[in-house]
Chains A and B, each alone.
Chain A
């Protein structure tokens, strides 16, 4: 951490205003270039052959007929890629990009071609003969842990268990968090709730499919244009997988039509590079929507058991959760994140969470906005609501009574500093939404959510042009308006108008390494780096002004975008503006710039409370969200409109997840709904205007008090909507999505009793 990162409580002129985003005009006029909008001379079309089987041994792949087809320039299989067997995480990443010995899910890549056009590439895929030995499969998270379930990996023994198990299993790891004595805590409880919950697998649903153009030169250098949340990390991983020198692979990130975590993982990019290397031509590879669904980025399906006990006065005495999360075919830490976040909102004396990473024949799970937290929150916040009802307490007041605060030992271990869960609950209690009348068949629900947020490696360059305008080059991909936020921060530090700054996302050859835009870190980290880069530029500007005046730099201060000479002896010197100093730069030492390379640690944790009203049609089981309010702590909202956008976006995705979205697998282990017609994400007409309330509880470890805001907003919706639906229909809903058939089934069950 660079010195001076602590919050100082300064007053702002630019930060907190709402100017238009610098990328806005290009986006609404179609000028903005996304992943598939880039072309290179002589480029080929890349296409991928995918397994139709959920689980199959690849006995042999014959590519000879495809290779002979006129117009085909390269065909690759795993044999054309390095064999990283035994190489841990990198093996898993590469094996997911291209199956080596086994296809682990419907859609798993087994071969790829590069041809002069799409029809030829498509024809070539049909000429590739793959000899499969089809194996028994398992796609359901609960089925996969049963004794006798088909095993994905015969060498997989559950980690985190002592002694080491003697039999292999689909459970890759067990983890446990918590403190106190839950058994003793439950003995103190007057009321205990025990329930099991399920959530189905969902996709991030980004509108833009994965797309890239790769060009590998015979001299060992390479370029890639790609839609990603982290071009530096894509460069690092692709270079490592393909044996390219990192600095010889130049990666440029395109505009991004949504990522939400799904574009923090590489998918087809190594294949495009390998095809280009083999064909000695640029290769463009764009995944179809069906491929995106079948072979990229879903979140976990989950199965969670919760036990909660409380005294009649509302004090929680003990809390337990057992979480089983599907991982796809490779071990991740998805259940662990669920176990860590489950009870993070509450101040608990006795708490225990156990997570199981379950391998299934589905695509490799990828991060999805506050990964794993929404499903855990659904289970815990549903149980919290039911417990509040049973002891006859208002659900918000029940949560306030048990809310974590500064000094609380969190359920995942550390003690909290200043946090916002209490204030979001208090604000929700006072919000007019809470008092609004409900209509027929309507119900109200609320829920809380937590996410860690983090920082990471960040690098920013600030170059001042001869006319005094400022070019800000950042390395975190702009997924939600960060170029506007970072321009505001730059303007704030330099004391110049926002319009004088132009922010761009630089390619990997023009900046030092930047971690990805994930963990809600884009604006948090890059604003910190921008502040330091600007402060470094101001040092240079003061030196240049001192030269121009021929006085000591110690007598020069920077105020309101101008150099001012301080002290009576310089009283007759008029201030020098940024423009004047920039114009003189050629004769005062050359270009003026400020740089910053940091590790932006100290991201503050984030909390939110959501309130939701729904109307359920008892005839059809269809649910309509009629009112929705997000209350969330932002630390400091740099650009409030884009903070609100993040809050609304998270809520909108959560609404889709809660009510409609679901991967549906057939008995054959094949995905039945890989398209937006059958996998329905919410559109504008499905949603009410989502109200937002930004709270600002400064993060003490950021100069402006900024916390990340991108992820937490998706954590409470599943639970808030489930609580609202349960209140509307009078049946506790325990299975997400609450699609019309599930609601009708619940209503039928209620009638039968």
Chain B
């Protein structure tokens, strides 16, 4: 089980939760379970969510494992110049 922190817009799509507990071994499973539990998150996942694991931001590596005690934070997928 990992605790996942949500940014503001995701919080609104989960009924105001700031964190959710999810049983997930990697980012792919995390997104799948989040979409199952909170269908309102699906459009955000489709548009792109970045996952910060212990401060390192992963945008595309969905196979990245989620260590049990890691700090996991969901962020918008940002663009750069």
Contacts and interface: CB of A to CB of B under 8 A. Distances in A.
A454 B59 contact: yes
Contacts of B75: 340, 412-414
A453 B79 CA distance: 9
B12 A160 contact: yes
Interface string A79-103: 0000000000100000000000000
A549 B56 CA distance: 45
A260 B65 CA distance: 34
Contact of B64 (A204, A415, A601): A601
A454 B81 contact: no
Contacts of A368: 81
A261 B81 contact: yes
A496 interface: no
Interface string A408-419: 001011111100
B35 to A, nearest CB: 18
Interface residues of A, number: 47
B73 A602 contact: no
B80 A1 contact: no
Interface string A590-619: 000000000101110000000000000000
Interface in A640-686: none
B64 to A, nearest CB: 7
Given A1-B61, A1-B64, A175-B8, A417 B56 contact: yes
Nearest to B50: A454
Interface in A438-490: 451-457
A658 B68 CA distance: 46
Given A413-B73, A519-B80, A177 B8 contact: yes
Interface string A700-718: 0100000000010000000
Contacts of B58: 601-602
A410 B56 CA distance: 12
Interface in B15-68: 47, 50, 52, 54-61, 64
B7 A177 contact: yes
A333 interface: yes
Contacts of B64: 1, 601
A31 to B, nearest CB: 28
Of B60, B71, B73, B79, most buried by chain A (CB within 10 Å of CB) is: B79
Given A1-B61, A457-B60, A601-B61, A333 B80 contact: no
Contacts of A340: 75-76, 78
Contact of B78 (A415, A454, A601, A701): A454
Given A160-B12, A176-B8, A599-B60, A371 B55 contact: no
Interface of A: 1, 89, 159-160, 162, 173, 175-177, 204, 260-262, 264, 333, 336-337, 340, 367-371, 410, 412-417, 451-457, 518-521, 599, 601-603, 701, 711
14 contacts: A261-B81, A264-B80, A333-B78, A413-B7, A414-B71, A452-B78, A452-B80, A454-B78, A454-B80, A457-B60, A518-B80, A521-B80, A599-B59, A711-B80
